[in-house]
């Protein structure tokens, strides 16, 4: 998600506020060349925490990345991650499949990564500071959809942007329509090539 830097902000304070670290902020914002120098009114891409879902003021959720100690590849690509967020992803994918969405377009591991970086797994997350919020349509929910996008991509009977399953359904359908698949979302490609996550 994007954050508009305010006067007095520091990378250290913002990293703490958004449950990440300074190095991750710098990696997600290649325009930053000096960790001690950021400018008010500039846009800052806020990545999620690297190894776990933890939203500020929200109890710790499931670790969908396997934790720092797990060896890479221990969880096969394509498996639904364990835990509450994984359950929501599975429910959403079952509904999407029943509505004709091809399974090869919606890798559950990549859906989990988007959720991790967009909302830290908090279905009540609201972004009140980016350009969408300034236009009166803040990004809401697990996949941080704005209301017009949610309305365009929701399925009948799944009308609640704050419902985690409904939010995933709309976010996945939008991702497939715009990028071809969830795995082709720029933030997922950025994580794969080492350039870091960017909002979608």
pLDDT interval class at 34 (50, 70, 90): confident
Q: What does the alpha-carbon distance between residue 140 and residue 130 come to, in Å, rounded to a whole number?
A: 12
Query: CA 27, CA 167: separation in Å to the nearest integer?
Result: 28
> Worst-scoring range by mean pLDDT, 10-24, 97-111, 152-166?
10-24
Q: Which residue has the higher pLDDT, 72 or 167?
A: 167
Residues 96, 177 contacting (CB under 8 angstroms) = no
| Banded model confidence at residue 85, pLDDT cuts 50, 70, 90 | very high
User: Can you read off the two tokens belonging to residue 13?
Assistant: 């304070």
pLDDT, averaged across the chain: 81
- What integer is the mean pLDDT of 86-90? 95
Please indicate whether residue 31 or residue 59 has the higher confidence score (pLDDT): 31
The yes-or-no verdict on residue 154 having pLDDT over 80 is: yes
Asked whether the predicted pLDDT for residue 149 surpasses 80, the reply is: yes
Per the model's pLDDT, the better-predicted residue between 38 and 67 turns out to be 38
Extents of the domains making up the chain: 75-193
DSSP-assigned beta bridge partners for residue 83: none
In whole angstroms, give the CA distance from residue 43 to residue 41. Answer: 7
Return the pLDDT at 57: 32
Mean pLDDT of 20-48: 80
In this model, does residue 27 exceed pLDDT 90? no
96-133 pLDDT, tens digit per residue, is 999 999 999 999 999 999 999 999 899 999 988 888 88
* Residue corresponding to tokens 């929701």: 154
């Amino acid at each position: 998600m994007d954050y508009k830097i305010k006067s007095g902000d520091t990378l250290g304070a913002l990293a703490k506020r958004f449950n990440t670290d300074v190095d991750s902020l710098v990696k997600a914002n290649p325009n930053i060349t000096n960790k001690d120098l950021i400018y008010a009114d500039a846009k800052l891409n806020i990545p999620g925490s690297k190894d776990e879902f933890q939203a500020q003021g929200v109890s710790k959720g499931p670790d969908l990345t396997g934790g720092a100690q797990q060896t890479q590849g221990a969880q096969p690509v394509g498996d639904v991650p364990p835990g509450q967020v994984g359950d929501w992803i599975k429910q959403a994918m079952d509904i999407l499949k029943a509505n004709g969405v091809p399974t090869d377009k919606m890798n559950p591991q990549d859906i989990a990564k988007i959720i991790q970086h967009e909302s830290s797994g908090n279905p009540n997350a609201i972004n009140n500071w980016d350009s969408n919020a300034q236009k009166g349509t803040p990004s809401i929910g697990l996949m941080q959809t704005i209301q017009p996008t949610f309305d365009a991509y929701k399925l009948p009977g799944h009308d609640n942007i704050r419902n985690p399953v409904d939010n995933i359904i709309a976010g996945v359908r939008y991702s497939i329509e715009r990028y071809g698949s969830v795995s082709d979302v720029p933030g997922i490609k950025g994580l794969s090539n080492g350039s870091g996550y960017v909002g979608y």
